[in-house]
Amino acid sequence: MYYPTYHCCTLYPPTGPGLVFIVYPTALSVMPYSAIWSVLFFFMLFLVGIDSQFCTLEGMITAIIDEWPHLFRHRRQWLILALFAVSFFIGLASVTQVS
**Each residue's pLDDT tens digit, 69-85:** 998 888 889 999 999 99
Closest CA to 61 of 94, 86, 93, 91: 86
Supply the pTM of this predicted model.
0.63
Query: Does 66 carry a binding-site annotation?
Result: no
Q: What is the structure's pLDDT at 10?
A: 59
52 assigned to a ligand binding site: yes
- How do the domains of the chain map onto residue ranges? 46-99
Tell the burial category of 6 from Cβ atoms under 10 Å away from its Cβ (0-12, 13-18, 19+).
middle
Residue 52 and residue 81: Cα distance in Å, rounded?
17
Contact 54, 62 (CB under 8 A): no
Q: What is the pLDDT along the chain (99 residues), one digit of tens a residue?
A: 555 555 555 566 667 777 788 878 888 888 899 899 999 999 999 999 889 888 888 999 999 999 999 988 888 899 999 999 999 999 898 888 875
Collapsing DSSP to helix, strand or coil, 17 comes out as coil
